Amino acid sequence: MIARRRQVALALMAVLTAGAACLAQHQQASTRGGHPGAPAPSAARAFTLVAAGDIIPHSSIIDRARFDGGGAGYDFRPMFSGINPVVSRADLALCHMDTVYGANGNYTGRPLFKSPPEIAQGLAATGYDACSTASDHSLDDGADGIRRTLDALDGVGVRHAGSARTEAEARTVTLLRAGPAKVAHLAYTFDTNGVPLPQGEPWAVSLLNENRIIEDARAARRAGADVVVVSLHWGTEWQDAPDQQQLALAQQLTASRTGGRPDVDLILGTRAHVPQAYEKVNGTWVVYGLGDQIAGEMDNREGAQDPRGNESSIARFTFAQPARPGSRWQVTRAEFIPQLFDVDAGRAVNLNQVLKQGAEVQGVRDRIRDVVLSRGAAKDGLVMGE
């Protein structure tokens, strides 16, 4: 394990250099309202969407960000720099913010998370456009935690879906621009760890319900969405295979249609802490579980430290504009990129890139690949990207 981490650390230096250059390029591009390498919206007839897994700032992650801040607060930007080239080059990039933000230095890891709001700055600098915020930790600090989190994301221009400060906000569809398309982002969680919704605020967190999701997807379409993306915080922790609830709900949501057109165009799953399979269900791509993008070392259900908790995939889908208005935008390319969070270096790593630099991580990369492809997605065209 130590030798592998040293290999990763050495290879990481070359990758981070490229990531830093891409970060500077993205920051310049953000002043123009676009991503580097993305075609001009007026000329584009397709867009790329990237989605990554859970961001869970355990105490070790908070400590690392404080170290990277050099004594002047918390800096999460270096933590994401290794995957910046993948995220910032997408037309639309989505993350999952698993925790809420604290204030005035009162930051904690599990069991109740209150994370530094500087994470929002790191997300924006990396190129994330929006995050799902519905999770089992959404109420770890009550309504105040939701408010601080969404205020911080708003402050850096990162949109959000899945939790809300007001009833009007909860009822407003999160519509995002992706090249020539309008994309609706909806988000839901299976539970809030038993914490009741704030009194008088049943809309504060979007809870997972099949009928509500379909109703919201149809409302998003009426609001002008060309593509409807649903983020679901679901599944069984530490289980590689999707559970029966995931399989059943994926079938139900992808089968729902209005006027012959699917109501949901993509499902993105989080929560399991480990990578799970991708599968095309009723003609719609489902990512059962992306895994944890940023997290400290964790113990699994048996109480053993489990390195899978730092493994994940980044999903990348290319959507093509239909020839006939009102028809479905089709996925013309489906990709996954294996990722590792190096807990020693405190950095997210694109495994394919560090492999090119000589890091001995092929076994980790191959394990992620095997899980992602375990339900036959390769036959439907899913490939491993760079």
Q: What pLDDT does 16 receive? A: 54
Segment 96-132, tens digit of pLDDT: 999 999 999 999 998 999 999 999 999 999 999 999 9
Residue 3: its pLDDT value, please?
A: 47
Largest Cα–Cα distance in the chain? 57
- Other Cβ atoms less than 10 A from the Cβ of 276: the count is 31
Compute the average pLDDT of residues 287-298: 98
Q: What is the pLDDT of residue 2?
A: 45
pLDDT of residue 325: 87
Q: In the beta sheet, which residues pair with residue 384?
A: 336
pLDDT by residue (tens digit) across 338-370? 999 999 999 999 999 999 988 899 999 999 999
Residue-level pLDDT at 10: 45
In this predicted structure, the answer to whether residue 24 has a pLDDT above a threshold of 90 is no
Q: What's the pLDDT score for residue 213?
A: 98
Residue 42 is predicted with a pLDDT of 36
Average pLDDT score over residue span 61-76: 96
Q: Which domain holds residue 295?
A: 2-384
CATH assignment of the domain containing 19: 3.60.21.10
Mean pLDDT of all residues in 195-204: 97
pLDDT in the model for residue 32: 28
Q: What is the pLDDT of residues 250-274, one digit of tens each?
A: 999 999 999 999 999 999 999 999 9
The band of 71, judged by pLDDT with boundaries at 50, 70 and 90, is confident
How many domains does the chain contain in total?
Answer: 1
What local confidence, expressed as pLDDT, does residue 37 receive?
39
Q: Distance of alpha carbon 364 from its chain centroid, rounded? A: 20
Whether the pLDDT of residue 1 is over 60: the answer is: no
Q: How large a percentage of the chain has pLDDT more than 70?
A: 89
Residue 74 has pLDDT above 60, yes or no: yes
For the chain, what is the mean pLDDT? 91
Give me the percent of the chain exceeding a pLDDT of 90: 86
Residue 206 predicted with pLDDT over 80: yes
